[in-house]
Amino acid sequence: MSEQFTITLAQLNPTVGDVAGNAAKARAARAQARADGADLIAFPELFIAGYPPEDLVLKPAFQSACRAAIEELARETADGGPAMLIGSPWVEDGKLYNACALLDEGRIAALRFKANLPNYGVFDEKRLFARGPAAGPLTVRGLRVGVPICEDIWLEESEDYENVVECLAETGAEILVVPNGSPYARNKNDLRLSVAVARVTESGLPLIYLNQVGGQDELVFDGASFALNADLSVAAQLPAFGENITTLRWSRTGAGWRCNGPIAPVVTDDHADYTACVLGLRDYVEKNRFPGVLLGISGGIDSALCAAIAVDALGAERVRGVMLPFRFTAQVSLDDAAKLSKALGIRYAVLPIAPAVNGFEEILSPVFAGLPRDITEENLQARARGTLLMAISNKTGAMVVTTGNKSEMSVGYATLYGDMNGGFNPIKDIYKTEVFRLSSLRNSWKPDDALGPSGEVIPPDIIARPPTAELRENQTDQDSLPAYEVLDAILERLVEREEPLASIIAEGFDRDTVARIDRLLNIAEYKRRQAAPGVKVTEKNFGRDRRYPITNRFRDMGEVLPGPDEKLVSRAGQASAQAFDG
């Protein structure tokens, strides 16, 4: 019986649909694991397909390509190198599973299927996959390895939850290796650790939590993989937000298998949010093969932060800034936009839009004759800017980065044609108060892999200037916004927590203000449906998490919610209820 076991963790960045590319990454990582003398190399959830594959995974041609890649990798393990534990969609008996395959000695030595399928937030796996059984451990070079897949360790209080870890412990597993596709959200590391600690406590087994890294549409996966010894001490911690291949050497002790691996620092809070925005934009551009990006530089803080993120993600040579002034544009905005562009080192052009706006007004004059000027004419500025940015995008191939923050997009103050339409928005899930914090942070720090210059890149005047919210499409004077500290506090309770208005008012917020923000949030739903995708950094954003109907007559009136009257409900007996359910 061996007293040593060596596992390589491949915290890598797959691309959804790039089966050949993902297989090539796996092959290169295995070569490194072999050089390290590994017995086993493990990859994240559904690695060969990329995660999440969404409805792509339902295509028979895609399923076949994934299986062919797994079979080819299996044949290559006949070379005597390390076994591979790799995720892939798998069709068995006409059912599609989220699977993990053990490849060793030239064959597919074993398969394990995910038993617990998440169907909340960004996840939709119950519609895509069949549930697998709670199976026992795999045997790899004499070691019994339990392979619960992602949700299989997130215990859920429901009757249909399979306690996979309990099953593995009872059937002789010696160590747990958990492949994951766990998206980033602020402070999620603490939650993952608490879940892992609970499973180790219950099973008495060491646990390896292996997460993927990289951006996929609106999701960012932060990696930050880790391992726990059976006594709950940290056996290893991999870095966050970057690819990493680490080999861990485990030793058999009287208390089970134990490892003392590297412990990397993990970025948190605002530092993590900024890094996620950089990684999300970078991978969206790279994986969709855009040559670069362009954005409107207004001299305001939102576009300044987006420009800094873009340069950190792609390098200054791939970022173009365009100032599109009209007669209302202040000289200080022109000056600050120029300073920002110079500090970041990006290409920069000033294109006055008066001829375009005046041209629109002239074209519309027969229709508008006799009607008073109003917000309609103001919005022509945004439409002209959007048209010009898209024209530059069409001509150069560069993707338009949009710059609307979460606060203003929530209440409809981000214009469809200026702040919201385009290719991608790195601050879509960042409230305005955090925009200011991240801008100040970037002037004193940047991520380790950032490609932008160090030091002060966002002019302090931009950060210090008091924020103002212009009235936008379909807004009236009574819809003016409160201070952003108040606005963001109310929105966080409405959007993230789904709190009733009465609860928010009870916390001390002004009733009329809360009601007005709730109204604006509801009537802006149609705008958010048309917005560009953007990085997700909270548990609930306006991408796949919030699914409210555009046509919707319900309004919370802010009254104290009545309690249920249980006396009015007839309860069937348990036996008859079960008979009715079939």
Positions annotated as catalytic residues are 45, 114, 150
Query: 277's torsion region: left (phi>0), alpha (psi -120 to 50) or beta?
Result: alpha
Q: For the residues of 501-534, what is the DSSP string, one character each?
A: HHHHHHTT--HHHHHHHHHHHHHTHHHHHTSPPB
Alpha carbons within 13 A on the beta-carbon side of 69: 27
Continuous segment of H or E residues that includes residue 220? strand 219-222
Continuous segment of H or E residues that includes residue 141? none
Identify the DSSP state of 416. Answer: I
The token pair that represents 436 in the structure block: 């200011």
Cα–Cα distance for residue pair 184/223, rounded to 1 Å: 8
Cα–Cα distance for residue pair 498/493, rounded to 1 Å: 6
| Cβ(100)–Cβ(145) below 8 Å | no
Cα–Cα distance for residue pair 424/549, rounded to 1 Å: 23
The token pair that represents 107 in the structure block: 């064959």
The token pair that represents 435 in the structure block: 């925009």
| Cβ(113)–Cβ(99) below 8 Å | yes
451-454: list long-range contacts, CB under 8 Å, 24+ apart. Answer: 451/311, 451/312, 451/313, 451/314, 451/315, 451/316, 452/308, 452/311, 452/312, 452/315, 452/316, 452/344, 453/311, 453/316, 453/343, 453/344, 453/345
Strands 244-253 and 234-237: unpaired
Cα–Cα distance for residue pair 453/443, rounded to 1 Å: 10
Torsion 315-318-323-324 (CA) sign: negative
Alpha carbons within 13 A on the beta-carbon side of 516: 15
- Separation of first and last alpha carbons in the chain: 51
Query: 384's torsion region: left (phi>0), alpha (psi -120 to 50) or beta?
Result: alpha
| Cβ(339)–Cβ(463) below 8 Å | no
Burial (CB count within 10 angstroms: exposed 0-12, middle 13-18, buried 19+), residue 545: middle
Which phi and psi angles does 527 have, rounded to 5°?
-70, -45
Q: For residue 84, which of 65, 67, 100, 95 has the smallest C-alpha distance? A: 100
207-211: strand order across its sheet = 138-140, 143-146, 175-180, 207-211, 226-228, 234-237
